[in-house]
Structure 1
Amino acid sequence: MKKLVSLAVLVVMLSILATGCGSSSTADKKGEAPKYNFRLAETHPADYPTTLGDKKFAELVLERSKGRIKIDVFPAAQLGEEKSVIEQVQLGAIEFTRVSSSPLAEFNKQFGVYSLPYIFDNDEHVWNFLNGEYGQKMLDNLEKSKLKGLAYYSSGSRSFYTKKPVKSVADLQGLKIRVQQSKVNMDLISALGASATPMPYGEVFSGLQTGVIDGAENNSPSYLTANHFQAVKNFILDGHQRVPEVLMISKVTWDKLSEEDRKLIKQAAMDSVATQRDLWDKFEKESMDKLKAAGVTITEVTDVKPWQAAVKPVIDKYSADYKDDLAAIAAARKK
C-alpha cells in the first residue's frame, strides 16, 4: 500500500511539473508541435504602455502560432517586483518578463551603461543605438546571465520629483532620493549631492507620503500612474537618464523551444515594439497634461551643463568598464 501511495504522489508531482513548463505531452505523442502556456511578469498597471506592448507581443505570438503558444500577461507586479522576477526567470519558474535595464544591470553588468547620465541626447539617438548592431548584440549577450533578450521598449527620459521645489543641482543637496537597486544610480544621486535610498517600486508611494524619502526619479507616465504626484508636486525635467525597457524570455525556456518557435517569438517581440513606442509617445504627452492639471509644478532645465558637470565623476568612474559601449553610443549620435 505504501508503494502505491508513493507512486501516486510521484505521478501527481510529475503532472504538476509538466503543467508548469507549459508543454502538452498529448500533442507531442501525436507528433504535433507542442502547445505552451507561458506567463509574462510586468510591474506596471494593466493600461500602461509597456503592459500594452506585452499584450501586443502575446497577441502576435498566439495569432502566428495558431493558438498553440499562449502567453498570459500578469501586470501590477502580481508575480513580484522586478529584481525577484528576474531571478525567477533565470530559473525558468517564470518564462517571460519586461523589466527596466537598470535593475537588469545587477544580473548583467553591461546593461549598467544605460544608467549612466546624459549619454543620450534624445529619443532619436537612443533608438539609433538600440536598433543598431551593437544594441541588438547586447540583447544576445544576456544569454550569459541565463536570460534571452527579445526586444527593447521605450521608457522616455527620467527626471526628479520632490517635495520641495528643485530648480538647480544645489537644491538637491541633502535630499533623500529613491533609486532603483543599481550601483550606477546610487553614484549618480550621490554626485548630485543627494542621499541615494534604494527602495522597491511598490514602496515608493508610502515612502513619499511618510517622509521616509524626499523624492524619487522616473519618467512622467510612471510619476502619474503610480500616484506619486499626489504625495510630491514638484517635477524638474532634467532628463538625466534614458533607460530602455527590455522584454526577455528565460534561457531555460528558450532552450526547450524549436528553432521555428524561437524565430516566431523573437519576430513577434520585435514587431510589438512599434505599437509600444506609439502608445508611449501618446501616453507621455497625456501624462504631462494631466500632471499640469493636477497642480504639479513643472520646471524645465534649459541648461544641462551644470548637471553634466556635477555627474562627470560618475562617467569618469565607469568609463573604463563601458569603454566599448560608450564608443558605440557616441557613434550612434553621428548617424
Structure 2
Amino acid sequence: MVVKLAAWLIAAAVACPAAARDFTSSDIYPADYPTVRAVGHMADVMRERSGGRLTLSKLGAGDQETESYTLGELRNGTLDMARVSLATLNSTVPATTVLTLPYLFRSTAHERRVLDGPIGLEILAALERVGVVGLVFYDGGPRSTYGARPVRSPTDLRGVKYRVQQSSNWAPMVRAMGAQPVVLPLARVAPSMRAGIVDVAEGNWSSFVALEHHRAARFFSQTEHARSPGVVLFSRRIWDTLSDEERAIIRSAARESVAYYRRLWDENEAAARRTAEAAGVQVVDDVDVAAFARALVPLHATVISDPRLKAMIERIQADPGP
C-alpha cells in the first residue's frame, strides 16, 4: 500500500508542472523608453525558457512615483521587480556611490567594461543586504546640465537652483560649485522649471526628451559630468520563494537583455538629440569640461571615505582601455 502511494505521488509530481508565476515590474519611464523595452525583452526570454510558467504581465511604464518609493515596495515584497537609477541606493549601499561619481568613466566603453566585470558583480552582490537582488545594470550614457541658461563652466552655476535626485551624492557636488541643490522627483522637474522653482536639472538625452523636459528647457549644456547607470532589481522576499531553476532563468534572461538594451540605447540617444534640436533646444558644445573635472574630481575623497571603496575607484581608473 505504501509503495503504491509513493508511486502515485511521484506520478502526480511529474504530471503537474511547477506553478506559474506572474510578476510585476516598475519603471518611471514611458513604455517606449529603452529600459522599459529591455525589460519587456527580458520578459519574453523568461516566458520562452520557462515554457510559459514565468511571466511579466505588468511592466509599470510611466509610473510617476519616486524611485525611493519603488525601492520600498521591492523591499517589503509588494512589488516583484523594478529598474531604478543606481543613485537611489547611494544612501543605503555606499558601494553604489562609486559608480555615480563625476568624471569617473572616460567613455561609454569604459563604463560598460566595469559594469560587466568583477566590480559590477561586487556592487550587485552588495545590494542583497538591503532586501533586493541586483540582476544587471543598464548604463545611462553621459549626464549633462539643461535648463533656462547655458552652462559653460562651474562659475555659471553660482547661485543657480539645481534639481538633484533624492538619495543622490550629487547634492554636495552642486554645493561645491556654488549652486543650490533642490530635491525633486522627475515628474515635477518640467513644471518646476517653468515656474522658476529650479533653473537647471541634469540627465541624459533620452530622459530629457522622454520626460518632455526639452519643452521646458532652452539649453542643453554638454557637461557630461557623470555616467550613473540604472539597475534591474528583484525583491529579495519574492526571490526567496523561487526555485533554483526559476532564479537561473530570471538571471539568464536579465543578462541577455543587456545587449538588447544597449542597441536600443545607442539609437535612442542619437534620435533624442535630433528631436530636442528640432524643438528649438540650443545645444551648448563649448563646455569647459576640464574646469568641471578640476572642480569635482577632488571631491571624490570627500564623498568616499571607506578604504575599500577608494581602492575600487583606483581599480576603475586603472582600466587601460579607451
Cα separation, 2, equivalents of 1:310 and 1:281: 29
Residue deviations 1:63-122 (CA, integer Å, cap 9, x gap):
1111101112110116x3211010110111100000010112233221111221100000
1:290 alignment counterpart = 275
Residue matched to 2:90:
105
Q: Aligned partners of 1:37 and 1:29: how far apart in 2?
A: 22
- Partners of 1:145 and 1:28 in 2: CA distance: 36
Q: Are the aligned partners of 1:28 and 1:34 in contact in 2 as well (CA < 8 Å)?
A: no
By how many angstroms is 1:183 displaced?
Answer: 4.8
What secondary structure, in the 3-state scheme, does the structure 2 residue paired with 1:197 have?
strand
**Corresponding residue pairs, total:** 308
| Structure 1 gaps, min length 5 | 1-26
**Does the Cα contact within 8 Å between 1:102 and 1:180 map onto a contact in 2?**
yes
Of the candidates 164, 167, 183, which is equivalent to residue 182 of structure 1?
167
Partner in structure 1 of residue 9 of structure 2: none
- TM score, norm. by length of structure 2: 0.91
* TM-superposed deviation, 1:314: 1.9
Q: Structure 1 residue 324 and structure 2 residue 301: aligned? A: no
Q: For 1:167 and 1:328, how far apart are their aligned partners in 2?
A: 30
Counterpart CA distance in 1 for 2:319 and 2:134 is 21
Give 2:291's aligned amino acid.
P
1:82-231 to 2 correspondence within 5 Å?
Answer: 82-231=67-216
CA shift for structure 1 position 255: 0.9
**What's the CA shift string for 1:163-194, capped at 9, x where partnerless?**
02222221111110100013511011112221
Moved over 4 A (4+): 27-31
Aligned amino acid, residue 76 of structure 1: G
* 8 Å CA contact retained: 1:129, 1:328: no
TM-score, normalised relative to structure 1: 0.88
Q: Is the 8 A contact 2:100 2:229 kept in 1?
A: no
CA distance in 2, matches of 1:324, 1:268: 32
Match in the other structure for 2:36? 51
Q: Which residue of 2 aligns with 1:76?
A: 62
Pairs within 5 Å for 1:295-314: 295-301=280-286, 303-314=288-299
